[in-house]
Homo-oligomer: A and B are copies of this chain.
Amino acid sequence: MNHAAAITPAQLLAGDRRALARAITLIESTRADHRRQAEVLLEEVLPKTGRSLRIGISGPPGVGKSTFIEAFGRHAIAAGKQLAVLAVDPSSRLSGGSILGDKTRMSELSRMKQAFIRPSPAGLTLGGVARRTREALLLCEAAGFDLIIVETVGVGQSETAVAEMVDLFLLLLLPGGGDDLQGIKRGIMELADLVVVNKADGDLAPAAERAAADVANALRLMQPLHKSWSPEVLRCSALRDIGIDHVWDRAQAFATAMGASGELPARRRIQAKAWLWHELSDNLLETLKAHPAVAERLVELEDKVAAGRIAPASAARQVLAAFLGG
C-alpha cells in the first residue's frame, strides 16, 4: 500500500475523511519509509493544528464511557462542533483488537458526518500508542475537527499519557459512596479537571449524590493544578441525556478560563516540550535495546540488578559502555 501517493496535505486540510483515515494509518505504520512520509505530512499540516479543544476521558469499566461520549458528542455537534474520537488502549495489543474497533459502540456518532471515530492502534506498547495518538490528534485538527476526545480504558499509566496530550481531563465515576468502593485507580483523581458521576437518575440518584459529595471532599484536600480553574464535580445520566448540557457548558467554561489566563497555551507549550523529551528518551532506549552488543547483556544485568547482585549504576555504566563505545 503506497500511503504517500494517496494523501496530499490539501486533501487532509480540506477535511477529506478517507484521506484522514489513511493519514492516521500511515502514522501508525512502523515501516521506516512510512515514518518518513508521515513526518513530511505532519510538518506540512502543522501550522493548521492547535485549533481544537482536546478532552481526555477516563473511568472505571461499566461507567458508560461510550454512552457518555455519544451524548456529550451530540451536544457538542448541536453546538456546531466537529468531533473526532480517538482511543488510547494499550490492552488492544494483546487481542489485536481495540475498545473502539466495534463502531456499534457509538452507533449514533459513527453515522454523523460531523463525527470521526478512530480505534486505538493495535500492536504497540503504551508509549507507541500514545505517540501515534498524539500525532493522530494533530491530523484530526488539520482536517478541521475542533473538538477531540481521547478516550482511555484506565490501564496502568495510560491516563497519565492522555493527560499529557489534552487540555481538559474528564473522569467519569459510578454512583456510590461510603463503603461502595469505586476502585478509582491511584493517581487518576488528581488529573481530573471535571469529575462527572454518571447514571445519576432513578434509584441511583441518591448514591450519585453521595459519590459526588465524597469526591468533592477529596478534591478539596488537594491543591488545584491550575490557577484559573478548580476541579468541579458534576452529575449526569448519559443514557437519559440528563445534565449532559451542563457538562458541555462547564467544559466550555474551562476552555474560556484557561485560555483567558494564558494557562492553556502555556500548558500546550510544556506538553510539546515534554513530548520531545519522551520521543528522545523512548528512541534512545529503543536504539539501545536493539543494539546487538547490548541486548543480551541487558537481560542478564536487569536480572542481576533485580536480585541485588549488582548496583543499578554499575549495570547502567556497563550497558552504556557497550552501547556508546561500540
Contact = CB atoms under 8 A, between A and B. Distances in A.
B217 A305 contact: no
A222 B185 contact: yes
Given A281-B284, A302-B273, A320-B284, A223 B39 contact: no
Interface in A258-298: 268-270, 272-273, 275-281, 283-285, 287-288
Interface in A207-264: 214-215, 217-218, 220-223, 225
B320 A42 contact: no
A312 B221 contact: no
A27 to B, nearest CB: 9
B223 A272 contact: no
A124 to B, nearest CB: 14
Nearest to A60: B223
Given A284-B285, A288-B284, A273 B223 contact: no
A49 B308 contact: yes
A46 B310 CA distance: 7
For this chain, the copies found in one complex come to 2
A311 B217 contact: no
A182 interface: yes
Given A220-B179, A272-B305, A320-B284, A279 B313 contact: yes
Contacts of A215: 221
Contacts of A31: none
Nearest to A191: B186
B315 A276 contact: yes
A322 to B, nearest CB: 12
A131 interface: yes
A316 interface: yes
A179 B220 CA distance: 8
A78 interface: no
24 contacts: A39-B314, A42-B313, A43-B311, A43-B314, A135-B311, A214-B217, A214-B220, A215-B221, A218-B218, A269-B306, A269-B307, A272-B308, A273-B305, A275-B312, A276-B302, A279-B312, A279-B313, A281-B281, A281-B285, A283-B317, A283-B320, A284-B284, A284-B285, A287-B320
